[in-house]
Structure 1
């Protein structure tokens, strides 16, 4: 496939205390670009795939920083809108607790219908369960994109309890997931939404999805493709900060599948990119080496040779 992967969602600025500090004690904060769909677009571009991002930023220095980061990563940013009144959303990573989001009334939450030109040369769309939780406008946008038939769609569940309760999110995310071609979910979030206990349970909830990927932290990731099941164990990594790892996994998996690689290779590619992000403070990090990609593609020496 040679067309763009279009990632649609809210771009964010991430503020992170230096290693070993919590927010109460930090005198400085590291500034980075984040947001689930931004992370996937950057990961795809790092792997050489044509990636496009559509979203909404504020007319502020943080918005300009996001544009600069995406441009540097060679992501197509022609369809990023600037809101003259609403601010760019941001969040703070707190090593002593959960992330703290400041996105109410953000520019990203006001994202509405995309112009038809944004879909030109696109053959795959990547969405997450964060966007429909942000606002009515965002939920309507996601619904309208799922109604289109000219490209395949991947959907990362990305359940965020801070945005909406499980009782509200569960039926909406289930309906969207059932309409996607590729679905990513963590077993923990699937358990919170649909009271499942293992990957096979998730498959029972989503039996018709063509490719269903279930991640389980340091345990195997599983992909169901029609009647097939493939499990791949991730390499052991030292975790510095986990935010963004799931997005990196999605980027690695999608890149491998778009290049025609098999299910096991795609899982290994996802694990590889996720492991790199786990070892850094930012939501994305440097791309894998050619040697690492070869190991992921072939499986020779996986995971001990990494």
Structure 2
């Protein structure tokens, strides 16, 4: 049985300073579900990732990294007629990071309901999906819906990260409708405090809601109680992968049967670790690192 099944679009990321002037850049791979799957695998959980990549070098890199990290990619698809998506990230001291998505027509956007393995999701302990993948187009949204429907039918726990990116939606109203629908279908909801208004119908006492409060830490409402945890103080290189790393840590704690405060603690550990690297996933810890990280 797979611990966590997830699906999404992994893409290449090119990071630089001022893109119009810099002559050097860094190439990596990113994606929220990509980061989550690696984070869970490094902690000893079995994770499966479904996605589509192009028959190109970036697609090969995505598959090689996931395979090397012990993530199950048996369901991944290679689209011979499309390229792997790309993200340009501009980071300058004193400025908020700027990102530009080159998703249109990419292989990741072509993920469809027909690619979703109903039986494998039904045999998993948890399904994790994000609003970012739901925003990539009609086919990708229907694939997410098919996965959620399969999990619901099989009584598999559903985890959902809102992961709202305004530039990927046609309107706020469209985002509210889709994100609210998926949030209401979930058992475990990850939401940033700035996204709470997008998923108001899902903020009920029956649902486990984990709220990212930025520098104020994180909180969870579970069993009609609220618990809080502060952030870890670490040198921040790039905060981009922090939210999905947090979700990986929290889910790991849930799979291990930890209490809500202990889950928050582990989520905070992975979130902090992710920010210490220019990569969204390369600094994620293995299980043996957790104690030493706590002791700092």
TM-score by length of 2: 0.91
1:73 aligns with 2:69: yes
CA contact (8 A) 2:42 2:287 kept: no
Residue aligning to 1:95: 91
Work out the CA distance in 2 between the residues paired with 1:283 and 1:95. 14
Could you tell which deviates more after superposition, 111-120 or 5-14? Answer: 111-120
CA contact (8 A) 2:274 2:281 kept: yes
Work out the CA distance in 2 between the residues paired with 1:83 and 1:263. 41
Alignment of 1:82-161 (within 5 A): 82-96=78-92, 97-113=97-113, 114-116=116-118, 118-119=120-121, 121-148=123-150, 149-150=153-154, 151-161=156-166
Gaps of 5+ in 2: none
RMSD: 1.9
Work out the CA distance in 1 between the residues paired with 2:287 and 2:48. 24
CA contact (8 A) 2:183 2:202 kept: no
2:184 to 153, 178, 189: 178
CA contact (8 A) 1:126 1:153 kept: yes
Q: Equivalent residue of 1:125, what SS?
A: strand
Work out the CA distance in 2 between the residues paired with 1:289 and 1:107. 31
Work out the CA distance in 2 between the residues paired with 1:168 and 1:100. 21
Q: Could you report, residue by residue, the CA deviation over 1:30-79 in whole angstroms, capped at 9, with x for unpaired residues?
A: 11111111110010001110000000000111000000000111000111
Q: Equivalent residue of 2:74, what SS?
A: strand
Q: Could you report, residue by residue, the CA deviation over 1:85-104 in whole angstroms, capped at 9, with x for unpaired residues?
A: 11101101111442111111
Work out the CA distance in 2 between the residues paired with 1:230 and 1:45. 26
Residue aligning to 1:168: 174
* Cα pair distance change 1:125/1:134, threshold 3 Å: same
Which has the larger helix fraction?
2
**Distance apart, 1:121 and its partner CA:** 3.6
CA contact (8 A) 1:179 1:209 kept: no
Residue aligning to 1:197: none
CA contact (8 A) 1:241 1:281 kept: yes
**Distance apart, 1:141 and its partner CA:** 1.4
Q: Equivalent residue of 2:14, what SS?
A: strand
Work out the CA distance in 2 between the residues paired with 1:181 and 1:290. 26
1:276 to 264, 273, 276: 273
Residue aligning to 2:15: 16
Residue aligning to 2:244: 247
Residue aligning to 2:6: 7
Residue aligning to 2:227: 230
**Distance apart, 1:4 and its partner CA:** 3.0
Gaps of 5+ in 1: 195-201, 297-301
Work out the CA distance in 1 between the residues paired with 2:47 and 2:286. 20
CA contact (8 A) 1:133 1:163 kept: yes
Number of residue equivalences: 286
Could you tell which deviates more after superposition, 220-229 or 258-267? Answer: 220-229
Work out the CA distance in 2 between the residues paired with 1:78 and 1:291. 28
**Distance apart, 1:205 and its partner CA:** 5.2
TM-score by length of 1: 0.88
Q: Could you report, residue by residue, the CA deviation over 1:220-277 in whole angstroms, capped at 9, with x for unpaired residues?
A: 3110113111111111222211111101000000011101111111111111111111
